Amino acid sequence: MRVRRVQLGCDTGEAAEGAGRHRELALLPYVDTVSIACGGHAGDDDSMLAIMSAAVEHHCGIGAHPSYPDRDGFGRRHIEISRSALEASVSDQLRALSRIAESLGAAIEHVKPHGALYHDIASDPDLAVWLAGVFEQTIPKARIVLPVGSGSIEAIEHSGHLVAREGFCDRVYEPDGTLRARALPDALIDDAEHAAAQCVTLIQDKRCDLLCVHSDTPNAPSIAKAVRGQLESLLGG
């Protein structure tokens, strides 16, 4: 069976130097694109440069991974913040990554909000369209990554922006299609074969065009390798 082109991506730039950074870099041979944390929940100039330089070497597409300004909560908490303050924070994050990209002669192809901001945008079309405009000011024509099935996708597309529909290979989905909360048992998939099998469902049933492996998931490099093998099997089938 042949399927349309589907990309495999990972969220990166979130680990300190050491084992976590090594695990992030070990994902790059298997992925098509990376979303790089740019200071809101994690990351700094050094981590952005290290990850982006490696991504360029591996011919990976590059994306920004902005969040609420919430380093203490790793961007996973909803933050009550004015739109003007959120615009200032997100714009600062995107400009920081853009400066690194410019220094390397690289292009930023997509914007994938992180954590609570990702989920807030997915469930609030008005917020999504507004933030798409904020992203556009710094990174024109970038695709905006949203979870497959999000009610905000149609609104963003109608506003003239490109959208990538994302599914997660390493997260458990509830029967209603939402992600199981991370605080609940068995929310993560750390078995490579299980993740590879889930990618088939995400492509064929949910119609995703971007798959994600989180760099902080246990066994992440093995998961990415298995999913890449599954994708190649489908594409060559």
Rounded to 5°, angle at Cα 56 from 43 and 9: 65
**CATH assignment of the domain containing 142:** 3.20.20.370
Q: Which residues of 83-113 are buried (b: 16+ CB within 10 A; e: fewer)?
A: eeebbebbeebbebbbebbeeeebebbbbbb
Asked whether the beta carbons of 42 and 75 are under 8 A apart, the reply is yes
Is 1 part of a structural domain of the chain? Answer: no
- Domain tally, the chain: 1
Residue 105: CA count within 13 A, CB half-sphere: 2
- The pLDDT, as a whole number, for residue 236 is 60
The answer to whether residue 161 sits within a structural domain is yes
From 180, 181, 144, select the one nearest 165 (Cα to Cα).
144
pTM for the full predicted model: 0.94
* Cα 74 to Cα 116: distance, rounded to the nearest angstrom: 9
For 46-59, write each residue's pLDDT tens digit. Answer: 999 999 999 999 99
pLDDT tens for 121-136 read: 999 999 999 999 999 9
How many other C-beta atoms can be found within 10 angstroms of the C-beta atom of residue 237?
Answer: 8
Residue 157 covered by a domain: yes
Question: Is residue 2, in this structure, part of any structural domain at all?
Answer: no
**Residue 231 resides in a domain:** yes
Q: Which residues pair with 212 in a beta bridge?
A: 9, 168
Does 88 fall in a domain?
A: yes
Q: pLDDT at position 4, please? A: 53
224 part of a folded domain: yes
Q: Which two tokens stand for residue 141?
A: 């024509």
Contact partners, residue 114, CB within 8 Å, separation at least 6: 11, 35, 37, 40, 41, 65, 66, 67, 75
Classify residue 180 as exposed, middle or buried by CB count within 10 Å of its CB (0-12, 13-18, 19+). middle
* Domain range for 26: 7-236
pLDDT in the model for residue 185:
87
**Is 135 domain-assigned?**
yes
Sites in the chain below the pLDDT cut of 50: 1-3, 237
- Residue 186 DSSP SS3: coil
